[in-house]
Structure 1
Amino acid sequence: LIKPLEDLAVLEHSVRRALDRAHLRLENQRYREQLEAANRELQASLHLLQEDQNAGRQVQMNMLPVTPWKADGLQFAHQIIPSLYLSGDFVDYFRVDERRIAFYLADVSGHGASSAFVTVLLKFMTTRLLYELRRNGRFPEFKPSEVLAHINRGLINCKLGKHVTMLGGVIDEQQGQLTYSIGGHLPLPVLYSEGEAHYLTGRGLPVGLFDEAEYSDHVLKLPESFSLTLLSDGILDLLPGDTLQEKELALPRLVSSAGGTLDGLRQVLGLANLADMPDDIALLVLSRNLA
């Protein structure tokens, strides 16, 4: 301002501008403080979420069976590659009694923590069923179809809004026989023997979706030397071809190229270099007398 002031409007304008600038400075400071407080809260929430995810992942890892695992002449090996920190895919294998070994691969709908929680429920339901059968003293036939039906009822009663596609099987070591059941799962298991690979047959409804769902058992005499490969549908994203049919045709050829082994599949499919997968991937390979 230049003295002497002859126009009071100039003074009023200057005062108003100074007040506006001061008000703006206070607003900026208040916004900055709010932003810093929100950022601190966000960091605390992210830290808590990371702790929860770490705990969930630790639980999932502890539920998975040992890999590789040998039981008499059979060998089991698996790998799970989550698209997020937690996986909706799950595998398990365990001895039912002195002559039978059971296994399954499950793919829960969706991704992340909600789907991972269902894998915990699956582990609980199968373990509890096995415990109840053993506690009764007499051990009836451990049919995969009945296990799938049991899980179907359990998931529907829980009303979690989740369903599962899964494959379950029981190997009778004395008879050299595989009994398996399919709950809406693709791709189907691939049997590799004597240099050739082909899909097993069968179909069934997803588990946990329909009250009236029924599941059937399929029986197969196992070769002396073989491998059986189970995969979740996330693997389809890695297979060559533009259509589902082309991808399904390619899978047995890739299993043959891999020699029916999990390590071979890792190399053929490039699993060591995967990043940012759109879906979880689970692989389970059980074998006997492979060269």
Structure 2
Amino acid sequence: MDQAVRILTIEDETAVRRSLVAHLEDLDYDYIEATNGAEGIDLFESSKPDLVLCDLRLPGMDGLDVLSTIAENAPDTPIIIVSGANQVSDAIQALKRGAWDYITKPIVDFQVLDTAIERALNRARLIKENQDYQKHLEALNQELSVALGQLREDEEAARALQSSLLPPPEVQYGDFLFRRQLFPSLLLSGDFVDYFPIGDHEVGFYIADISGHGAASAFVTVMLKTLFEKHLDAFQRAQEEVIRQPHEMLDHLNRALYQSPIEKYLTIFYGVLDTREQALRFCSGGQFPYPILFDGEQINTLTSHDKPVGLFEDSIYTQHQIDFQPIQQLLVISDGILELFPRDSARRRTEWLLQMVTSGAPSIEALVERFDIENLDEIPDDIAFLSIVRGEQNE
């Protein structure tokens, strides 16, 4: 059971104070009473309340001085002034010194007080959540900074680490066979592929291409894997469902990467396949070439996509859904494949890619052989393949 909210009431008039605490008790708030400013400061420091209700006209220490002291020492604690001094100058001065709200006495309608308390507590909660999130990001960045140092010290160890983060080359989820293959242009890859079960009948999967090459880009794949695992773990503990909603997941990734000190961005296609309903929810953050769909007779592409992730703070990501029932295979390839074609427009190279894909079996092995990737002396850019095939097929 959640701990009750604790409210400190600083009020010298006994009748008013008793009226306030009786109302707070009816609302199941814990309450603490102080009859003057000095006592209020002592109780605040010893009990750490979640919210303070304070009068302005107090014996001894003035209410404004109490307000200034609390606001200076605990700026994130809501302070609501409840005063019979109904003067605009008092309200202005109180708000300048850190009050969150101002209510005049006598309180005729306690709903006004209830609304002010609820609004202040919600604001305080949001501030704390944002602080916790920032602390989490700072801790994550520190962890990632350590990981980046390790990558730079030993690229071979880094490659082993990166390889360990990849899913198995082939996994069957229900009626669908997931496969992946990765060809780095350097020792470390800026491309990454992953797939994982979400609950009993959904599978999340993504293919990502981080800007640049080498250790820094490979490091972002570690960060990417960590962020996905964080939201997957939160789902498994029934705390959130961000991992099930591709547009929300990309929004979280965008904010985390944009706020990161690493000056990197990425393109990504993230989908959640419902193997029971055979429906695909997806969101594309600049993925190119477009994902390719086979229905057994013809191919189509998923052309809907938004901006890359981590490039713009205010990027908005749109979720789409398609019926996966008629689809026999989904194939996603990173843009490194386009570097194997002669220099030309992106549109022309995409047309060549579709011709190569449709000229024979669309399996990963067949495409690797068709492009002769394994025999290339040098791969111009990282190339990643992600394939989802209905049923067990010997590719």
So what's the TM-score if we normalise by structure 2? Answer: 0.59
Give the distance between the partners of 1:217 and 1:258, measured in 2 at CA.
Answer: 32
- Displacement after TM superposition at 1:225 (Å): 5.1
1:145 and 2:247 correspond: yes
Contact 2:231 / 2:243 at 8 angstroms: preserved in 1?
no
Q: 1:164-207, CA deviations, whole angstroms, 9 ceiling, x for partnerless residues?
A: 01100000111111111010121110111213222112020110
Partner of 1:214: 316
Give the distance between the partners of 1:94 and 1:109, measured in 2 at CA.
Answer: 24
Partner of 1:128: 230
Give the distance between the partners of 1:138 and 1:49, measured in 2 at CA.
Answer: 32
Instruction: Check 1:258–1:122 CA distance in 2 against 1; reply closer, same or farther (3 A cut).
Output: farther
Letter in 2 for 1:250: W
User: Residues 80-159 of structure 1 correspond to what in structure 2 (within 5 A)?
Assistant: 80-136=182-238, 139=241, 142-159=244-261
Contact 1:240 / 1:246 at 8 angstroms: preserved in 2?
no
Structure 2 counterpart of 1:231, from 319, 333, 341 = 333
Give the distance between the partners of 1:138 and 1:166, measured in 2 at CA.
Answer: 22
Q: 1:246-265, CA deviations, whole angstroms, 9 ceiling, x for partnerless residues?
A: 11112223222342211121
Name whichever of 189-198 and 253-262 sits farther off: 253-262
User: Residues 7-22 of structure 1 correspond to what in structure 2 (within 5 A)?
Assistant: none
Instruction: Check 1:120–1:132 CA distance in 2 against 1; reply closer, same or farther (3 A cut).
Output: same
User: Residues 169-248 of structure 1 correspond to what in structure 2 (within 5 A)?
Assistant: 169-224=271-326, 226-239=328-341, 242-248=344-350
Partner of 1:281: 383
Give the distance between the partners of 1:174 and 1:241, measured in 2 at CA.
Answer: 43
Q: Which has the higher contact order (CA 8 A, sep 6+)?
A: 1
Q: 1:56-84, CA deviations, whole angstroms, 9 ceiling, x for partnerless residues?
A: 00000000000111112111111111111
Give the distance between the partners of 2:392 and 2:186, measured in 1 at CA.
Answer: 34
Contact 1:79 / 1:282 at 8 angstroms: preserved in 2?
yes
3-state secondary structure, aligned to 2:196: strand
1:163 and 2:265 correspond: yes
Partner of 2:161: 59
Contact 2:231 / 2:242 at 8 angstroms: preserved in 1?
no
- Displacement after TM superposition at 1:239 (Å): 3.5
Contact 1:227 / 1:288 at 8 angstroms: preserved in 2?
yes
Q: 1:52-109, CA deviations, whole angstroms, 9 ceiling, x for partnerless residues?
A: 0111000000000001111121111111111110000000000011010000000000
- Displacement after TM superposition at 1:51 (Å): 6.5
Contact 1:86 / 1:112 at 8 angstroms: preserved in 2?
yes
Contact 1:167 / 1:182 at 8 angstroms: preserved in 2?
yes
Partner of 2:173: 71
- Displacement after TM superposition at 1:120 (Å): 0.2
Contact 1:228 / 1:287 at 8 angstroms: preserved in 2?
yes
- Displacement after TM superposition at 1:267 (Å): 1.8
Give the length in aligned residue pairs.
244
3-state secondary structure, aligned to 2:244: coil
Identity %: 37
Contact 1:177 / 1:219 at 8 angstroms: preserved in 2?
yes
Letter in 1 for 2:312: F
Kindly report the root-mean-square deviation, in angstroms, between the aligned alpha carbons of the 2 structures: 2.1
Instruction: Check 1:49–1:202 CA distance in 2 against 1; reply closer, same or farther (3 A cut).
Output: closer
Partner of 1:17: none
Give the distance between the partners of 1:183 and 1:230, measured in 2 at CA.
Answer: 13
Give the distance between the partners of 2:304 and 2:342, measured in 1 at CA.
Answer: 24
Give the distance between the partners of 1:260 and 1:113, measured in 2 at CA.
Answer: 32
1:265 and 2:367 correspond: yes
Give the distance between the partners of 1:238 and 1:141, measured in 2 at CA.
Answer: 34
